[in-house]
Structure formats: C-alpha cells, structure tokens
Amino acid sequence: MSIVYRYGMKDTRQPHTKVILITGCATGVGHATALACVRAGYITYATGRNLKELRDLAAAGCHTLELDVTSENSRVQAVQAILAKHKTIDILVNNAGYGQMGAIELISLDQIRRQFETNVFGVLRLCQLVMPRMRQSGKGTIVIVGSMGGLVTTPFMGAYHMSKYAVESLADALRREASGFGIRTILLEPEAIKSNFGNTTLASVSRGDTPYTETQKRISQITAKSYMSPRLLTPERVADKIIKVTASKHPKARYRIGVQAHIMPALFHIMGDRLTDKLWHNIIKPKNG
C-alpha cells in the first residue's frame, strides 16, 4: 500500500517547534488531542485508517496522514514520511485502541489476536519505529493512552483488560530501558471516556444463545448505562492532560485521570479477591453459582 497523506497547512516550523504523531484521530481522545496540539503550536500529524474522517482536522491545521496501526507497511511508511520532511518525531502519542466483550471460554483466539494487534502490538511497533531517531537526538517523549482497565478487571471484558494490562508492563519496561537515552515514557490511565468506544464495545457482544447470554446481558446493560452518564470523562480532558505532560520538564511515569480511575483500583485492592469476586457474583448472578 502506498502511503496517502495530505498537509493541512504550510510548514512554518521554527527550530523549537515540536513534531507530534498521534494515532487513532478519527474520533474521541485522538481527535481532541490533535486539535489541542495544533492549537498549542505543535506540528501535529493526526492519523487514522481513513483520511476522509480526518478532514476537519486538516481544516484546523493538522497534517493528516493515513495510518493503520495493525499494518507494518502502513506503520513504516507513516513514520518515514514524517522523518523525511522534518528529520524528527519529538512526541509519539499512542492512542489507537478499542474494546470488545465476550466470555473467555467462548471468545475466539482470532478476536483476541485482533485486540492485541491494535492495543498492544501497534503501540509496541510504533515505539520501535520512532525510538532510533529519538535516541540519536538524545530526547523524545512517548505517551501511551492506557486505561483504568489495565488496573481492574470486569467480567466479559477479559480480552480488552489483558491488552491493557500488557500495556502497563510495556510502558514500565520501555521507561526503564530508554530513559538513559533521554526518551520519556508516560502512561495515561483514564476512566471510561465519552466517545465511540462504548458503542464499539457493545456492538461486539455476541447475540447467539450461550451459557453466558443472561449474565453477559446484565454486564452489557451496566456498561450501556455507564456510558450515558453526564459525568463521563470527556476526550478534551484527556487531551488537556496530554498537552500538560508533554510540556512538563519532569513528568510522572503514569497519570490516572478521573475520580473512578483513582478510587476503583484502590477499592478493589482493599476488598481483596474474595470480596471483589463476591461483588461481581451478586451483580451478574451467574448460573450454577
């Protein structure tokens, strides 16, 4: 696949202006972050699988570029296109990701592989592609948009949680290995966000009749209700955090965003496995329980 890209504005970069690459910009956090970054003065590359979905970002001043994080050819060509023009990628924001629902017993290995291809391997490979130039220049920032879902686990979201737990370890290993080269790794752990994520997750629910149909239905109802809450975290709030941490001289290793992201992991830790399991048992009322 030949790379397709378009520039939304004339490059007037000054020596101090940073180049930022953001994945998954069609909607949600990626979209909000691209707008926030271009307004903050970054040379902003907003990427996604479909350029048509990025037209408003191009109009706002972003450089839009086609990037499928699950395709090696797409990943390599996207990074090479930016390096060819600017000689550097100062900041990488790994945002692309999605969730899916399904019982561990029944979800297919292909479904789990697809989850990891986007949420883990796409993140890992883009880090590998930008790091050599960052290491040569002695500086760079990698932001990984993880999730509170990498700290707690809910029933029927196992594939998603596994991928986000993996991202936690990825961020820790990367930070400890690359900090000596001036590369900063920052992990964000937001609570549920108001975006298409909830709809995508709910759309993945199997409609067939299985031993888990009723219990999974209850979890789906809880999930749907939670994504209707007016207090749901907004993409703009996460974007604002990304602007702040990338500008910080001494950012922390990880940032929990939202009240639930602070409370829920601590609460489940205090409760312990026995009480937490009992809580979920009472919520979903599994058969033969």
Question: What residue ranges of the chain have pLDDT lower than 50?
Answer: 1-15, 289
Active site residue 160: yes
- Of 45, 160, 212, 255, catalytic: 160
pLDDT in tens, 202-232: 565 666 788 888 888 888 777 777 767 778 8
**How confident is the model at residue 148, as a pLDDT?**
95
Structure tokens at 237: 């709030």
Q: Which domains does the chain have, with CATH numbers?
A: 5-284 (3.40.50.720)
Q: How many CB atoms lie within 10 A of CB 114?
A: 15
**How confident is the model at residue 212, as a pLDDT?**
85
Distances in whole angstroms, Cα of residue 224 to Cα of each of 31, 201, 240, 265, 277: 23, 10, 26, 21, 22
Query: How far is Cα 103 from Cα 159, in angstroms, rounded to an integer?
Result: 9
**How confident is the model at residue 288, as a pLDDT?**
61
b/e per residue 9-21 (b: at least 16 CB within 10 A): eeeeeeeeebbbb
Residues across the chain? 289
Phi, psi dihedral angles at 23 (to 5 degrees) = -100, 155
